[in-house]
Amino acid sequence: MKKMISLLLAGLMASAACAGLVSGADSFGIYFDTAGNTNCTTAAAMDTVTAYLLLMNPAGPTEAFECSVSMSGAPYMILSTVTGGCLCMTDGGFCGPYQFAHGCEDDFPVTEDGAIVLVTWRILLQAPSELLFHIGPSKLPSLPGGLPVLLGDSVLRQGAVASGDVNLPVAGINAAVCPTSDEINTFGAVKGLFR
């Protein structure tokens, strides 16, 4: 029994060492803070909300990324879209607000929380209803697989999405049910076996 408790405590401490809500490497998510701890928020009509596209727990240096972002539900207006870390390279690339193929001469900086701020949006919510965010592959992906793609040290690598599935939302404003990461759902299912 003592051995099992020790293993559980070690597992909990290991998961706390990862950034934000998601423990998987190279995970794309939309958050309302730059640490990746808040993927749901509330807002009234005509409130301005700042949202961040973050790469959580980068597996290595990252100098470019490509993905798509969609928002559905409440009417909204994007007031600004700022790509993080460097200027958008437009020769053959595209820089949202919804489609991104964005690169830098140098690697994107990693925050002290272990995240990379890829994009910052200022969004004006026009009604106090649900607005959900999805992340998917770029419209012209560099790798097959239907997921976001990263470039680091001149090597392409596949990213993941915080929800575990491109068909599930990763964040929400006024969401009826706050989207959870794949890891959180998996842990909940395992925990449910012992009730």
**Amino acid identity at 40:** C
What's the pTM value of the predicted model, to 2 decimals? Answer: 0.80
Is residue 13 a part of any domain in this protein?
Answer: no
Is residue 156 a part of any domain in this protein?
Answer: yes
Indicate whether 19 pLDDT > 60.
Answer: no
Q: How many domains does the chain have?
A: 1
Is residue 62 a part of any domain in this protein?
Answer: yes
- CATH code of the domain covering residue 138: 2.60.40.680
Which token pair is 130?
Answer: 């649900």
Sign of the dihedral defined by the CA atoms of residues 30, 34, 39, 40, in that order: negative
SS3 175: coil
- What is the distance between the alpha carbons of residues 28 and 184, in angstroms, rounded to a whole number? 15
Is residue 158 a part of any domain in this protein?
Answer: yes
Q: What is the mean pLDDT of residues 47-76?
A: 95
Is residue 15 a part of any domain in this protein?
Answer: no
Q: What is the mean pLDDT of residues 144-171?
A: 95
The residue range of the domain holding 162 is: 22-192
Is residue 4 a part of any domain in this protein?
Answer: no
Is residue 34 a part of any domain in this protein?
Answer: yes
Confidence of residue 80 (pLDDT cuts 50, 70, 90): confident
Is residue 75 a part of any domain in this protein?
Answer: yes
Q: What is the mean pLDDT of residues 173-177?
A: 96
**In whole angstroms, how large is the CA radius of gyration of the chain?**
17
Residue in 19, 75, 74, 24 with CA at minimum distance from that of residue 52: 19
Which token pair is 106?
Answer: 């140098």
Which token pair is 1?
Answer: 């029994």
Q: What is the mean pLDDT of residues 159-181?
A: 93
Whether the CB-CB separation of 103 and 63 falls below 8 Å is answered with yes
More confident residue, 175 or 83: 175
